[in-house]
Homo-oligomer: A and B are copies of this chain.
């Protein structure tokens, strides 16, 4: 997700023209003085953002998922799912996922991980001490006292969309409810039929077109802020649901640890652009109405799940 804004310089015919174009943010000499000046690009706006527009990840609410290919960094959302996040922190401290695996990879939908034998008595991995085996459903939260930075764009799934606690979210002013939306990279807690049947042991990550029909039907616990490219390429299991047929096809998880439990020298220090910052608002507008030498017809719209949430290495 680092530098996701740069995808805009996209779709050129071949590599060399493409790479060159990316280097030229704006023509040094306008070919035609009457032509409207290119606006600042989203990337220009982000690069110029003051340090105060960035926030550090909180190590106590950050998971490091270590895969053989590298580290996936997940920001937990305790404001949205306090009980699930507390339980996940307990399980991570107790090493619950260490040596378990990703047992499902469904194209254009989710990867899912945890204990594939979790429902089988005798085979299920015991939960670490202190793990709660029953939690309330945390599908929505109250919007009282929560800053919600609303997008002006229409959305078919919810009355209002925007950002809260740095997460993509939606709100219903009639009910006063707020919830995280199932955008690419969002992490949720799998459950059985009863709404209160998730405890955070089995988690899924969205790897395709936002399945927003899941919104406020499951407890969402956070989102991947780095390393999505490790999860999104995991070979798909057979259709329709992507569960692997053989245990050896599952993708191993080395460990999942809280960043706060990892020695500081081994951490991945990241910063996120605050979703309530001027730079974020301006960069989103630059995406919504992109005008440059390539994109000549501004869309005048952006979908909530198309808004990049910029991440950078901590400075």
Residues on A facing B (Cβ under 8 Å): 1-7, 9-19, 21-22, 103-104, 106-110, 112, 114-120, 153-157, 183-185, 188, 190-193, 195, 197-198, 201-202, 204, 208-218, 228-229, 232-236, 239-241, 243, 287, 290, 293-297, 299, 301-303, 305-306
Determine if B213 and A299 form an interchain contact, defined as CB atoms under 8 angstroms apart: yes
Task: Give A237 Cβ to nearest chain B Cβ, in Å.
Answer: 9
Offer 13 A-B interface pairs, CB within 8 angstroms, sorted by A. A7-B106, A7-B109, A10-B211, A11-B188, A14-B117, A14-B202, A18-B243, A107-B228, A193-B293, A195-B296, A213-B290, A217-B295, A217-B296
In contact, A232 and B107 (Cβ under 8 angstroms): yes
In the assembled complex, the CB of A288 is this many whole angstroms from the nearest CB of chain B, namely: 8
Contact B7 A241 (CB under 8 A): yes
Q: Determine how close the nearest CB of chain B comes to the CB of A298; give it in whole angstroms.
A: 9
- A232 in contact with B243 (CB, 8 Å): no
User: Are B17 and A212 in touch, CB under 8 angstroms?
Assistant: no
**Whole-angstrom distance between the Cβ of A77 and the nearest chain B Cβ:** 17
Are A12 and B190 in contact, with the CB atoms below 8 A? Answer: yes
**Are A2 and B297 in contact (CB-based, < 8 A)?**
no
User: Given A4-B240, A6-B241, A209-B183, does the pair A17, B192 have CB atoms closer than 8 Å?
Assistant: yes
Nearest B residue to A214 by beta-carbon distance? B11
Give chain B nearest CB distance to A114 CB in angstroms: 7
Q: Given A15-B116, A119-B14, A210 and B213 touching (CB < 8 A)?
A: no
Give chain A's interface secondary structure class: loop
Number of copies of this chain in the oligomer?
Answer: 2
Contact indicator A212/B14 (Cβ below 8 Å): no
Contact assessment for B14 and A115 in the assembled complex, using a CB-CB cutoff below 8 Å:
yes
Q: Closest B-chain residue to A228, C-beta based?
A: B107
Cβ-defined contact, A299 with B3, below 8 A: no
A87 to B24, CA, bound (A): 31
Q: How far is the CA of A183 from the CA of B210 in the complex (A)?
A: 11
The answer on a CB contact under 8 Å between A14 and B229 is no
**Inter-chain contact B11/A190, CB cutoff 8 Å:** yes
Q: Which residue of B lies closest to A185 (CB)?
A: B108
Q: Tell which of A11, A155, A228 has the most Cβ of chain B within 10 Å.
A: A11
Chain B residue, CB-CB nearest to A198:
B13
Tell me the minimal C-beta distance from A308 to chain B in angstroms: 9
Contacts A9-B240, A14-B116 known; 19 new A-B pairs at CB < 8 A: A1-B107, A2-B239, A7-B106, A10-B211, A10-B241, A11-B204, A13-B119, A13-B191, A14-B114, A14-B119, A15-B243, A21-B193, A108-B185, A155-B156, A184-B208, A195-B296, A213-B295, A217-B295, A229-B239
Contacts of A214 in B (CB 8 A): 10-11
| Chain B, residue nearest A155 (CB) | B156
Q: Is the CB of B297 within 8 A of A12?
A: no
Which residues from B are CB-within-8-Å of A1? 107
Contacts of A4 in B (CB 8 A): 108, 239-240
In Å, the complex CA distance between A197 and B12 comes to: 9
Q: From A2, which residue of chain B is reached at the shortest CB distance? A: B239
